Amino acid sequence: MPTQRYQDELRSERSYVAGLYTRLDAERARVKGQYTAALRGNGGTPMERDVEVRALAREVKRLDVADNGLCFGRLDTLSGEHTYIGRIGLFDEANEYEPLLLDWRAPASRAFYVATAANPENMRRRRQFHTRGRRVVDFTDEVLGRPDGAERGDAALLAAVNAPRGAGMRDIVATIQAEQDQIIRLDHPGVLVIEGGPGTGKTVVALHRVAYLLYTQRERMERQGVLVVGPNPAFLNHIAHVLPSLGETNVVFTTTGDLVPGLHVSAEDTPEAARLKGSLKILDVLAAAVADRQRLPEHPLSIELTDVTVRIDAETVEWAREEARGSGRPHNEARAVFAEIVTYVLTERAIARIGQGWLTRADREAWEQLRADLLAELADNDEFTAALDELWPILTPETLLAQLYTSPERLRAAGADQALLRADGDAWTVSDVPLLDELIDLLGRDKPVDQAAERERKAEAAYAAGVLDLMVGREDMMDDEDHLFAQDLLYGEDLADRFVERDTRELAERAAADRDWSYRHVVVDEAQELSEMDWRVLMRRCPSRSCTVVGDLAQRRSPAGATSWGQMLEPYVPGRWVYRSLSVNYRTPAEIMTVAAALLAEFAPGVQPPESVRACGVQPWSRQVTEGELATAIEEFVREEAGREGTSVVIGPPGVPGAVTASETKGLEFDAVLVVEPERILAEGPRGAAELYVALTRATQRLGVLHLGLLPQALNGLTDIKTPAQAGNRR
């Protein structure tokens, strides 16, 4: 394009985009005005106002995030029509709601991402804007439909992947590629598995798919929200801004260790313990552990009452236990059945002994009165309560599991491996979370707590009923408005509800605090690490079985993790899961990926490494140091990278000062990475190679390796250097 024409078009585009921002500001002012009015409570019922306030609050957030990169491109059709693509949709209300800007998720926007020279999708040109704040800095054009059939050239993509990394993951709404777009817009009601090697963008694709589903299925998705499960808090912090930047906030971010609200994970399992806990075979252990607490007395238990002493014998308890187990109720709730049978037997025996010689069943009134007296006495009898607690105790998941882990005898009784034995029973690990979650259902709620809550509820209702009686009794003293209000108070419980403060928390806050919340959609990242028991927890929280699963089997470290996707998913969604793969590496430059691919070929020879879209011109290096030189070498790397733009990290085996482990960097990316003692990482265990593979593929620009012993053979592709200065020169 001639320079003068380019400048003319640039001015035109700047003017159009400025007009979009004017429209955005007007829309924002209108919605904020409505929001303020709704907060004042003008008109409608309290519930209607609450719904309106929440809806307007979401709209305010959606409009606020659109400021950054509101419009990032334009499509030109063969007939010469222009369509502008951006973060949200804007319409011209004065012109029959003519679209001024199309939301990137709209069907008509799809061509912006998938059109190529060979397959132009009836488009003539794709224009991409480079913006700074609200101003269009420049643009690039790509003419489509050329006969040479060249694939899409994307200057915006290369600029994005080469840019220094910031504190968190950025959205890719302006640079989504064709293979990514096909996955984002996939219409599948079950489970979608997205597998891809390092840097293929599988995480950010999954998040954009959530944004797409929230756009196309807004009503259903927003009522229940979305759960995103990641490997660690650092990863969740890294990705946390992607969906809010796209205007979506009804999302809960959590790790598998936080799926049970209020539980604190503070310990780590041995590989063998993690494997045992992750297998579905542990379900039999849990069921047996619960059954083991439903005991038969070794000797009859004496209960002294006012007029008689009765005994609880093994035969009675066995009958009561069978009835309670046969009720199908959870353990804590089945205690009521157990207690009822035991109480029945004891009262029958007591009545027979007390009334011997004078009381017959024909004297029904006297019989029932005596029974009532005995029932009341048993209810207040400490010996009887202690006997019930011994034979059928009220249990919490934490109590049961902690006592199981610290008792060799209880482990044997439950048929559990002694590898689960530990000194601190309630020092919870990530692998304990699905077991505790399972026990919530096996045990049921703590009935005394539930009963206390019910008593409090009834007391509130009784108080409200008293207020109602008082008001109705004074109707003759009321004016018309008060009279109508009194008529509205129909029931005491309705009035009690009015005294309860409404839950004004956002959906995500309410969902995160509620173990029983059902999500409409679940995203699982690093899913290859999840055990069979982890999947039970997640499927329990997603009855619709609508999931996006992200992972890479080659990077699996957990001994309880997936060896195949079908193994984990078929029990829950037989025939309802589909597999898609990503093959292009947008993060790792070719120079670094060549080194990582050599390692991959050793421990996973059947896996094809992703192909990098770019080279960075910087060769990764290795340097052998002595143990005394190691700390200084790490400090030199940190000091040099501190003077550069972007991010850096030191990765090593546990115990290396200033380093994090490869597991802690899963899903993250850095401009520069220093891997320390790769030989020790490889020696950590059977999954050490996967750990090292993760470490090598975190860098987007520069990779260095420090080793004490011999460099692992798989890393011979690294350039050997002798001094830090040589490393600097290679950059």
* 22 labelled ligand-binding: no
**CB of 155 closer than 8 Å to CB of 192:** no
Contacts of residue 31, defined as CB under 8 A and 6 or more positions apart, other chains included, come to: 56, 59, 60, 63
* 202 labelled ligand-binding: yes
**CB of 79 closer than 8 Å to CB of 66:** no
**CB of 307 closer than 8 Å to CB of 407:** no
Six token digits for residue 5: 């024409």
Task: Decide: helix, strand or coil at residue 212.
Answer: helix
φ/ψ of 604, rounded to 5, equals: -145, 70
- Which residue is listed with tokens 């024909």? 362
Q: In 3D, which of 174, 177, 144, 168 has the Cα closest to residue 156?
A: 174
Measure CA 596 to chain center: 29
* 196 labelled ligand-binding: yes
Q: What element of type H or E holds 1?
A: none
* 492 labelled ligand-binding: no
**CB of 585 closer than 8 Å to CB of 667:** no
Separation CA 209–CA 92 (nearest Å) = 28
**Alpha-carbon distances, residue 488 vs 198, 379, 484, 485, 498 (angstroms):** 63, 41, 6, 5, 12
Q: In this structure, what is the dihedral angle of CA atoms 630, 636, 639, 645, given to the nearest 10 degrees?
A: -110
* 73 labelled ligand-binding: no
Six token digits for residue 564: 């195949």
Q: In 3D, which of 610, 686, 562, 476 has the Cα closest to residue 201?
A: 610
Task: Decide: helix, strand or coil at residue 194.
Answer: strand
Separation CA 475–CA 478 (nearest Å) = 5
**CB of 106 closer than 8 Å to CB of 91:** no
* 606 labelled ligand-binding: no
* 69 labelled ligand-binding: no
Identity (one letter) of the amino acid at 588? T
Q: In 3D, which of 290, 218, 276, 274 has the Cα closest to residue 247?
A: 218
- Which residue is listed with tokens 């002294």? 304
* 667 labelled ligand-binding: no
Binding site feature residues for ATP: 196-203
Binding site feature residues: 196-203
